Amino acid sequence: MHALIATDSVHTTAAACDYLEPRLGSSDTVTVVSVSGPDARDAADALNVANARLLGYANVETKRVHAGGDPTPAIVSAIDDYTPDIVLIGPHAGDPGAGPSLGRTTQQLIESVDIPTVVVPLSG
């Protein structure tokens, strides 16, 4: 299996790792694409979380991309480049207190990609 985590925060990355850990095997690959917005530090920390949490569970690749205003095109481009079997995203901009509704980027991704997409719940 090849999973792609599209993230902009440590919260989204941790939730995706929680979902993936029991499902991964040593031959699986997880690509973590951290989309930098205004808080570049959080995007870098998101990659560190993935490396620490998934070490020993699967092969982990990380990539940091910068998205000006709308992160959707950068995420879709990463999906096209890596051709994962599954995509994991958070419901909204990585803020656990934002409520249960889906954010604009998550809605756009669900509507535009043709591979299974898992929206991981954020604890808060």
- What is the pTM for the complete model shown? 0.91
Three-state SS at 25 = coil
- Is 80 exceeded by the pLDDT of residue 59? yes
* pLDDT (0 to 100) of residue 67: 74
For strands 117-119 and 86-89, give the pairing. parallel
Question: What value does the mean pLDDT take over residues 84-101?
Answer: 80
Digit-coded pLDDT (tens) for 1-43: 999 999 988 999 999 999 999 999 999 999 999 987 665 677 7
- Up-side HSE of residue 59: CA atoms within 13 Å toward CB? 5
How many C-beta neighbours within 10 Å does residue 69 have? 6
End-to-end Cα, the chain, rounded Å? 29
Nearest to 39 by CA among 20, 13, 66: 66
- Is 70 exceeded by the pLDDT of residue 53? yes
Digit-coded pLDDT (tens) for 103-122: 899 999 999 999 999 999 88
Digit-coded pLDDT (tens) for 60-87: 999 998 877 788 999 999 999 999 999 9
